[in-house]
Amino acid sequence: MTWPALLLADPSPCLRWLVLRDIFHREAADAELAELAPRRESDPLVADLVALQDPDGSWRPGALAAGRAESSRVQMTAMALARLGYLGFDQRHRAVKRGAQYLFAQQRPDGSWPLNKDAALTDGTSELPPQERYSMIPLQTAFPLRGLAACGYAADPRAERAYE
């Protein structure tokens, strides 16, 4: 058995849709892709992720990656959007729209996103004076941009501001 056949044997509608679209290069009008499209919403990969979204559009720390104490809502929301984007969901999906709205609402005027209080510490303690803390790190903006770009927001003017 070949690896594409193994992938197609998986019960996930999302995985099957991705294999047919990206490996077998099926067109959007393909009958099987059209049949799978609405079933992707109920795939546990998507349904479980969407169920964890908070009313404000964010995902809370620990919801997606246990043990990440330094995570923030911005980072978790960026990770969730990256997952949804990888699975083929974009701005037309309600959870993606809400997640993107949350991220853009947290964006600073300079285009960056706020640095998590714990990430600002240089040695993991809160005893450091303010001058010995990070004021910025590239990942504070890279993670939200990755999640947004994965869902089709790469050319959004707000994302463009962050690239600058």
Cα separation, 148 vs 26, whole angstroms: 25
- Are 134 and 119 in contact by the 8 Å Cβ rule? The answer is yes
Residues 13-22: contacts with CB within 8 Å, 24+ apart?
13/39, 13/40, 13/42, 13/43, 14/40, 14/43, 14/45, 14/46, 14/87, 14/88, 15/45, 17/88, 18/87, 18/88, 21/88
pTM for the full model?
0.84
- Are 148 and 156 in contact by the 8 Å Cβ rule? The answer is yes
CA atoms lying within 13 Å on the CB side of residue 88? 20
Sequence ranges of the domains in the chain: 1-42, 44-163
Cα separation, 141 vs 112, whole angstroms: 5
Q: What phi, psi does 54 have (nearest 5°)?
A: -80, 160
Tens digit of each residue's pLDDT, the chain (164 residues): 788 788 888 899 999 999 999 999 999 899 999 999 999 999 999 999 999 999 999 998 877 765 555 578 999 999 999 999 999 999 999 999 999 999 999 999 999 888 766 555 555 555 655 556 666 677 888 999 999 999 999 999 999 999 88
Structure tokens at 15: 């995985």
